[in-house]
Structure 1
Amino acid sequence: MIVLGCNGFSRVCGIFAERFGAVGTEKHYLLGHDAGAALLVDGELVAAVEEERLNRQKKTTDFPVNAVRWCLDQAGLEFSDVDLIAVPWDFSAEVLDGMLSDITAAPMVPAAKLDLLSGIGELFTGAVSHDAILADFAARTGFTPDPDKVVFVPHHLAHAMTGYYMAGMKDAAFLVSDGRAERYSSLLGEIRDGRVRVFDESTIGAHHSIGLLFAAITRFLGFVPNNDEYKIMGLSGYAEPPVPNPFLEDLVELHEDGRYSFSRPLETDNPRGLDALFEKYFGPFQDTLEYTARVAAAAQEMLTVVTSHQVRALEAKTDLDHLLFEGGVALNCLNNTPLFEGSRFEDMHVSFGASDTGITIGAAVHAWVHHPDGAGGRKSAPPVTPYLGPEYDDEAIEQALRECAGRVEWTRLSDDEVVTRVAELLTEKVVVGWYEGRIEHGPRALGHRSILANPAFPDIKDIINTRVKHREPFRPFAPLVLESDAPKVFEMGRKTRSPYMTFVFPVRPEFRDVIPGATHVDGTSRVQTITDEDTPRLAALLRRFTALTDVPCLINTSFNVAGEPIVCTPSDALNCFLGTEIDYLVLGNRLVGKAGTS
């Protein structure tokens, strides 16, 4: 069985701009962002890519025409070969009725209520209803799908199935939390033999979304909502949360069954509706590290309290011992470690597709598992790798290099020579672009489109932030470490691995002066563990580098600059290399330098 997962809408961005004023940094605020496609063939995930990697528009909401075509081409398939098309949204007539009821009951003046009802009506008929999605697919691909072969999967169930599949399809409890789905923002439940049970009494509506509240705080501090929340994580390390915490004292209320609410519900049509409240709590906004860090620390503590409350309720509702945490809130890796360590669950899994990047995978899995001819009695999934996107052969690399003739110089090396030469270069204070194989899926670079550096230099973080990434100086960097070495360097607690940078651990005191460039101000690091099986050449590089330096980690950050998607093609990599102060570029088996430098 062949299942194509597809997320993205041609008109969402335009409708949000016209009807809700969502332009600029607001345009990917609510739904359709992280557009992409995924392909499942007889239960095996053979291809997945985000549309932004191909159309070069970060967090694009557009219909993923390029991603869909690439997935099919990668597998040598035509549209007529596809058995099911899975969409990770289900804006049914019943959902619309619920949305309209929510608006009708909201405490709004009649004129604003009528305007919002009209906007939601246009959004539904013009972009997100079943008929609109089918028409959009036909218009953008030239293929008209059979409506009986299109499966509309509720958004949060797609998130849950993403985690379920990537964790090996074993029975598990789940917490899904993000900004909002069709009507809700968070679900608790469990998956047994592929069947999803939602604990309805624990469901959180969109007007009390911890994800949207965190996005509102992100916006208040001058960052891009639904994109820059990780900056709040980084900032929170520079301050202690205030006592008492006004978010917990005045805004958030915890209830039975893991529910919570806000004393002042969110106005989802007015993203700055809480700014005055934030200024009441913290004083007028000041663009200073002291002010922003204090707000960030309060927000981070609030998130931890709310999600811990949900997990405690989940523990009481299920006898399962494995926890899946999915949705955009699950990318708050600073929260994930204490969340797991404070639980009774034996393990906690946060996938590389926890945000909306992964919902095409989850939707495809949901459609496959629940189809009579799908998973059947299958009890496990094939091993899953994040390296699911396009790769480019020697001819494409050579062509890209020729197009940069006169600006770059390069040498072709064997795999062993690449490892040896780059390890030697990294003993110095240099920055290396590392490009190999298929591009990784998800928001984090995991070693195929990465920027590498030596964490032994205390100022290497400043060099990368200012000269390469062009971003805020407070931003930390993640260390990659061999899985076998990780417990020696970091206080891993009950975790044994962190392959997707979804957990943060304290750096052991004896290593804080060894890897200062990868140690945050609070003494922690967002760790990526690697193995020879997952990334053989990168593991060999790290092993060789450690032998030369006695430093057991390398800095790994995404190969891009602020505001741009991670590089995809060889030309993307070369453009980023030439437009920044990256010193060297490994492009497949070519070691590339800038013309005129030694």
Structure 2
Amino acid sequence: MIVLGYNGFSRVTELLGKIVGHGTEGIDRHQFLGHDAGAAVFVDGVLVAAVEEERLNRRRKTTAFPINAITWCLREAGLTYTEVDRFAFSWCFTNDFADRAISGIASAYLPAEQKIKAIADFGDLYTGALSRTALIEDFARNTGFTPPSGKYVVVPHHRAHLACGRALAGFGDTAFYVSDGQAEEHSAIAGEIRGGRVRVLDQFTVGGAHSIGLLFAEITRYLGFVPNNDEYKVMGLAGFGTPPEHNPLLDKVVALAQGGRYSLAPANGDRPGRYEALLDATFDGDRVSRGDFDFQVRVAAAAQDMIERVTAHQLTALSEVTGLRSLIFEGGLALNCVNNTKLLEDLPFDRVEVSFGASDPGVSIGAAAHVADASIADVSPYLGPEYEAEAIRAALDEHATAVTWRELPFDQLVAETAALLTDKNVIGWFQGRAEYGPRALGNRSILANPSFPDMKDVINNRVKHREPFRPFAPVVLEEDAPRVFDLGKKTRSPYMTFVFPVRPEFRDKIVAATHVDGTSRIQTITDEGNPRLAALLRDFTARTSVPCLVNTSFNVAGEPIVCSPADAVACFLGTDIDHLVIGDFLVSKR
């Protein structure tokens, strides 16, 4: 069976923007349904292609209908629309959902005129973007092909998240936990899979009004960052502080209850910024203090502690109810890698897996996997476009007055690149198929030597143009990881979804890839999984006795990770990256 899964809408930004009162610019620009649009194709249970729309249309976290991603996936798979057996979309807004939404507006304490306007606005959103009819019309309008109704499947958003994690983990019986900002109506679901049957346990379902994901996003906004995008900055800031002995967020904002339940204090409506007054009161803050680094660290440390304690509260109860010792954790909250490690180490689970598509890029894979009922453990994350030497030469020729290059045999390319990395050079590394998901996993990466104490500042200031407190991650051979990092219950971490303490004897050796709290968010690689990067890492380690490289995404702040040779050359020339290794070409600036 051939299944095309996708995420993204044409009109949701326009229609939802009218309701929430903001558009695609400004601090709240990513607060829309369908962000991280993308597409994926399964053929007879095998994931053959997947790419995020942002990599192709070059608009970060785009909500747009993924016409470029769908076109590329079908072309890569050698398929036409008529050959697809099922079209799977990663949201499911049913008639019952619409009825409940209208009833909620009608029963709200609002003047009649406001109710009528709110119902009309929701009606425009539902009929123009969310309903099954609107979705099929959207597909036809963008592709010129109308999927037969019997072939078009709408998959509940959290079930798409679960299916992605389940397919990529390859577990048998397991507990699961999916938590993000908000899906159709809920923010989190949890349950168990036994004998292939999924059972959602209602006592762990959390409504959107009590979403800790949305609360963390509001704290992100409160500190001046972009919600639904910069939460990792808050996580990074937390490492500069210590968790409060008495967390004010758990005193005034979040209330834990028996059985893993919790609730949030009422906020000022559902508009962006609704928690500002409550957070000011909680932390004795104001608009001036929110920009102070020490204040930001204090709030971030409390927010991170809150996330860890609430999820541990939920998952402790889930482990007791299910008795299972494996856990699949998906959704946007699963990108909090500090929390992931603590859940694994402090709770009864022996194994916790977070996929490379844990946040919303994964629901395109998940929608298709849900329909295909696929299980494909240890699939490669390198699922996107690959470019031949001719395409690379063409991109270089476009900038022949600005760059010079040599095409080298692979062994020589690795040797010369490793030699460059022994010094304080920053290398753009572009190889093979583009990786899927929010992390650069070694095919569209910026690499550097982590042994230089100022390398973090060099990359942040000269290349990435981002905040100086932001840490960088190391890439390490899987066989070397246990001697460099304390992996605890883990044996590998290929997707940068967990953090680990750096062993004391290596903290000076990889100082630029060690966070202020002594941890690193590592990527482990093997010769089989990424032979080119593994060969480079072996050569570099042999030359330096440094077993890691800094690995950060090949982009600048605010832009998607590069996808094509043209993207890579443009980023190379627009930054202070010293050299570009693209395919078999070693490129320098004239």
TM-score after normalising by structure 1: 0.96
* Offset of residue 266 of structure 1: 7.0
Matched ranges for 1:534-549 at <5 A: 534-549=529-544
Partner of 2:316: 312
* Offset of residue 345 of structure 1: 1.4
Distance 1:294 1:116, change over 3 A: farther
Partner of 1:581: 576
SS class of match (1:26): coil
Q: Distance in 2 between matches of 1:215 and 1:111?
A: 31
Distance 1:114 1:459, change over 3 A: farther
Partner of 1:366: 370
Partner of 1:342: 346
2:202 to 200, 203, 215: 200
Mapped contact 2:514–2:520 kept (Cα < 8 A): yes
Distance 1:16 1:22, change over 3 A: farther
1:175 to 173, 177, 183: 177
Partner of 1:499: 494
What are the ranges of 5 or more consecutive residues in structure 2 without an aligned counterpart? none
Q: Distance in 2 between matches of 1:317 and 1:486?
A: 34
Distance 1:108 1:482, change over 3 A: farther
Q: Distance in 2 between matches of 1:106 and 1:459?
A: 56
Distance 1:97 1:257, change over 3 A: farther
Q: Distance in 1 between matches of 2:268 and 2:33?
A: 16
Distance 1:436 1:69, change over 3 A: same
Q: Distance in 1 between matches of 2:497 and 2:143?
A: 35
Matched ranges for 1:328-477 at <5 A: 328-369=332-373, 380-381=375-376, 383-477=378-472
- Between the two proteins, the alignment pairs up a number of residues equal to 585
Q: Distance in 2 between matches of 1:97 and 1:533?
A: 52
Q: Distance in 1 between matches of 2:89 and 2:318?
A: 28
Give yes or no for the alignment of 1:78 onto 2:80: yes
* Offset of residue 117 of structure 1: 3.2
* Offset of residue 172 of structure 1: 1.6
Partner of 1:38: 40
Partner of 1:19: 19
Partner of 2:98: 96
Mapped contact 2:424–2:452 kept (Cα < 8 A): yes
Q: Distance in 2 between matches of 1:415 and 1:480?
A: 20
SS class of match (2:496): coil
Partner of 1:372: none
Mapped contact 1:207–1:266 kept (Cα < 8 A): no
SS class of match (1:85): strand
Partner of 2:232: 230
Q: Distance in 1 between matches of 2:416 and 2:162?
A: 43
Give yes or no for the alignment of 1:299 onto 2:271: no
Partner of 1:189: 191
What are the ranges of 5 or more consecutive residues in structure 1 without an aligned counterpart? 370-374
**AA of the residue aligned to 1:441:** Y
Partner of 1:4: 4
Q: Distance in 2 between matches of 1:540 and 1:62?
A: 38
* Offset of residue 125 of structure 1: 1.0
Q: Distance in 2 between matches of 1:202 and 1:431?
A: 46
Q: Distance in 2 between matches of 1:259 and 1:273?
A: 23
**AA of the residue aligned to 1:6:** Y
Matched ranges for 1:28-177 at <5 A: 28-104=30-106, 112-177=114-179
CA offsets per residue over residues 170-223 of structure 1, 9 Å max, x none?
Answer: 222100000000000000112234432100121100011011111111111111
Q: Distance in 2 between matches of 1:396 and 1:326?
A: 36
**AA of the residue aligned to 2:279:** F
Q: Distance in 1 between matches of 2:258 and 2:112?
A: 33
Partner of 1:523: 518
CA offsets per residue over residues 460-513 of structure 1, 9 Å max, x none?
Answer: 000100110011111000001111111111111111111000001111111111
Partner of 2:551: 556
RMSD: 1.4
Partner of 1:273: 274
Q: Distance in 2 between matches of 1:69 and 1:288?
A: 46
CA offsets per residue over residues 562-583 of structure 1, 9 Å max, x none?
Answer: 0000000000000000000000
Mapped contact 1:20–1:119 kept (Cα < 8 A): no
Mapped contact 2:175–2:193 kept (Cα < 8 A): yes
Partner of 1:218: 220
